[in-house]
Amino acid sequence: CGYVISDPNQSKINFHIQTKAKVPSSNPIRKGLQRFLSLCQYVYSTSQQTVKAESNSVPPMEEMEKS
């Protein structure tokens, strides 16, 4: 199972599933999508924490203008 984001400007991904003979693809697809969702949630929460930490460390514009 793998995915490719071909162009960051497009809102689509290519999701690839490969199974062995006579193995239905529904379970690997479900598992792959669940793992991809977990990855997206991790990236989102990590980026939000970073943005929040950075915004707390930058002084407000008023304080910068006084300097």
Residue ranges per domain, the chain?
A: 2-51
pLDDT of residue 42: 95
Please report, in tens digits, the pLDDT of each residue of the chain (67 residues total).
677 777 888 888 887 878 888 878 888 888 888 988 999 999 999 999 998 888 877 666 666 566 5
pLDDT of residue 4: 77
pLDDT of residue 64: 59
Q: Please, what sign has the CA dihedral across residues 28, 12, 44, 54? A: positive
- Integer Cα distance of 14 and 7 in angstroms: 10
Q: What is the DSSP letter of 25?
A: S
pLDDT of residue 21: 80
Q: Does pTM top 0.75 for this prediction?
A: no
